[in-house]
Chain A
């Protein structure tokens, strides 16, 4: 049964997305329950795949029965099995949360929104599970197109931000496609395992060098690695709350997964370390991303824009871990992908709850928010601790691994950059917490109520529970990070690191 899961994990959300218009044309509640049911099933498949890969090893599924390289192969190994439950659980919690939020912000347009959300999850799952290079492009475009649509439906400056994102995202996908074309031209095959066996004799040919560089540039554009990050802050800041909570934790991290795939499974790690010094370039760009993201985040007054710049900085951490190309660095990068998915999911859900309750997310308007929304802001505090790196949240362990990876290779500049950016994270996040909890004006900002009479006005239960579960997920991931490292991550790291 588990051997059918790689196909089912794509087929189920796809069929659900195709039938959402039939089910929910008039009633948006039915769309919501249909989406929750689908994602519960997808989570079951993802966890089943993870369990099967841990117990029995990688799973290979031949689409249509044709053997690779003549047909398309789905290959679930430890890396894919690690990422799949992350996507499934985060998207399940966000969709559970989305009922009231979508009814308020996208009234009358719920059915297309749920369809596009399910399609985006299909696309992301497809990128992770497939073993064929062109198939990655097709699913990348499914995910990207639904992303564009979800972001453009927001308020304010959303359409212009989306247009910039479309232009830059298409350059990225086309560069990746061109890289795949170069590899096809010199090997004749599109299967990932097949190409990775055929290209080592050709490592010094200019075509393979260009292919590697083109694929990395394209993936960096999708991943928002500095200097190709300028589409991200505006896009995620103006999107509707549920859409940004779904896209922000997942999309850039799946692009980071793709970068790990290309750098360590498709090409041998030596290619990007010795033949092209791509890892050096990536680590320096990552350090710049950390600094620039943190500096811009300090200057923001809109909480959503600040979190979007924080994403740019955290992608810098992940890219640093990938670029270090040693055991601790890659472990840190993978743990940071897990951490980022849950943390950004938690804080974007919190921002959505604040917008639902108070109407905007300007930080200066947050006075007494801790008293009015204790559960939400408590979860926000846990998310902040994880981004700073306070034990026992997962952020502490991922940063520890990254620091050890830098120290092992004697990159003292990177160690300094990690510590400085941690301090900058503390500055801008504690400003939010300080405004929300420690300021006691004479009257509450919006309602002119005396301080002692402020009562708790929390968001509805269907929004509160996913937020609390995400915060619990951050703590659990931190407490069990040793187990995760020893059972799953050990097998992902290439031999020889």
Chain B
């Protein structure tokens, strides 16, 4: 069983490495990721928001909705733990 999984992993890994051939080089300043959307953030963060920390301004303002989703994820995890782990003194002892 373990050898079968190992073979599967090696095949998946080599397919993924095969897929990395066409990727932009590491650190290329002309890659599409660095030239399409993010120059706007770097240039306008101070103008729009008077905030020197660009990551904060993107996190809290341009993409603040994702941050709201992230806090909801934490809330969900807290309530899952509440649902699963809260002991009621009379009913649950050590099951």
Please, what's the 1-or-0 string for B56-95, where 1 marks a CB less than 8 Å from any CB in chain A? 0000011111100110110111011011101010010000
Q: Is B21 an interface residue (CB 8 A)?
A: yes
Q: Which residues of B contact A52 (CB under 8 A)?
A: none
Task: Select from chain B the residue with minimum beta-carbon distance to A138.
Answer: B69
Please, what's the 1-or-0 string for A373-394, where 1 marks a CB less than 8 Å from any CB in chain B? 0000000000000000000000
20 pairs across A/B with beta carbons < 8 Å?
A63-B65, A64-B61, A69-B36, A72-B66, A109-B83, A112-B83, A115-B79, A119-B79, A126-B69, A134-B66, A135-B65, A138-B69, A138-B70, A149-B79, A149-B84, A153-B83, A185-B23, A185-B24, A188-B36, A210-B19
Task: Select from chain B the residue with minimum beta-carbon distance to A190.
Answer: B37
Q: Which residues of A contact B62 (CB under 8 A)?
A: 64, 66, 70-71
Question: A36-44, A139-147, A475-483: which lies at the B interface?
Answer: A139-147
Cα separation A198 to B38 with both chains bound (whole Å): 16
Nearest-Cβ distance from residue B43 to partner chain A, whole angstroms: 11
Q: Which residues of A contact B64 (CB under 8 A)?
A: 63-64
Given contacts A70-B37, A187-B36, contact A145 B80 (CB under 8 A): yes
Q: Is A223 an interface residue (CB 8 A)?
A: no
Given contacts A70-B40, A70-B62, A188-B36, contact A206 B19 (CB under 8 A): yes
Please, what's the 1-or-0 string for A84-113, where 1 marks a CB less than 8 Å from any CB in chain B? 000000000000000000000000110011
Of residues 5 through 52 on chain B, the ones whose CB sits less than 8 Å from some CB of chain A are 15-16, 18-24, 31-38, 40-41
Indicate the size class of the contact surface on chain B. 35 or more
The answer on a CB contact under 8 Å between A149 and B83 is: yes
Q: Is A486 an interface residue (CB 8 A)?
A: no
Q: Which residues of B contact A210 (CB under 8 A)?
A: 15-16, 19
Task: Select from chain A the residue with minimum beta-carbon distance to B76.
Answer: A145
Task: Select from chain A the residue with minimum beta-carbon distance to B40.
Answer: A70
Task: Select from chain A the residue with minimum beta-carbon distance to B77.
Answer: A145
Cα separation A209 to B79 with both chains bound (whole Å): 39
Cα separation A151 to B75 with both chains bound (whole Å): 17
Q: Which residues of A contact B65 (CB under 8 A)?
A: 63-64, 72, 135
Nearest-Cβ distance from residue A168 to partner chain B, whole angstroms: 14
Task: Select from chain A the residue with minimum beta-carbon distance to B86.
Answer: A109
The answer on a CB contact under 8 Å between B33 and A188 is: yes
Cα separation A185 to B36 with both chains bound (whole Å): 11
The answer on a CB contact under 8 Å between B83 and A122 is: no
Q: Which residues of B contact A69 (CB under 8 A)?
A: 36-37
Contact among A14, A116, A135, A189 with B80 in the assembled complex (CB-CB below 8 Å): A116
Contact among B15, B18, B41 with A70 in the assembled complex (CB-CB below 8 Å): B41
Q: Which residues of B contact A187 (CB under 8 A)?
A: 32-33, 36
Contact among B19, B22, B37, B72 with A142 in the assembled complex (CB-CB below 8 Å): B72
Q: Which residues of B contact A21 (CB under 8 A)?
A: 79
The answer on a CB contact under 8 Å between A139 and B75 is: no
Nearest-Cβ distance from residue B29 to partner chain A, whole angstroms: 13
The answer on a CB contact under 8 Å between A108 and B88 is: yes
Task: Select from chain B the residue with minimum beta-carbon distance to A143.
Answer: B76
Contact among B32, B38, B69, B82 with A186 in the assembled complex (CB-CB below 8 Å): B32
The answer on a CB contact under 8 Å between B21 and A188 is: no
Cα separation A109 to B81 with both chains bound (whole Å): 12
Given contacts A70-B40, A149-B84, contact A186 B79 (CB under 8 A): no
Given contacts A153-B83, A185-B31, A207-B23, contact A18 B75 (CB under 8 A): yes
The answer on a CB contact under 8 Å between A188 and B83 is: no
The answer on a CB contact under 8 Å between B21 and A116 is: no
Cα separation A21 to B37 with both chains bound (whole Å): 40
Q: Which residues of B contact A109 (CB under 8 A)?
A: 83, 86
Given contacts A148-B80, A188-B37, contact A14 B72 (CB under 8 A): yes
The answer on a CB contact under 8 Å between A153 and B73 is: no
Cα separation A141 to B86 with both chains bound (whole Å): 23
Q: Which residues of B contact A119 (CB under 8 A)?
A: 72, 75-76, 79
Name which of A63, A69, A71, A188 has the most chain B CB atoms within 10 A of its CB. A188
Q: Which residues of B contact A148 (CB under 8 A)?
A: 80
The answer on a CB contact under 8 Å between B32 and A116 is: no
Task: Select from chain A the residue with minimum beta-carbon distance to B18.
Answer: A206
Q: Is A205 an interface residue (CB 8 A)?
A: yes
Contact among B63, B73, B82 with A145 in the assembled complex (CB-CB below 8 Å): B73
Cα separation A108 to B62 with both chains bound (whole Å): 42
Cα separation A135 to B23 with both chains bound (whole Å): 24
The answer on a CB contact under 8 Å between A149 and B88 is: no
Contact among B19, B73, B83 with A113 in the assembled complex (CB-CB below 8 Å): B83
Q: Is A271 an interface residue (CB 8 A)?
A: no
Q: Which residues of A contact B36 (CB under 8 A)?
A: 69, 187-189, 198
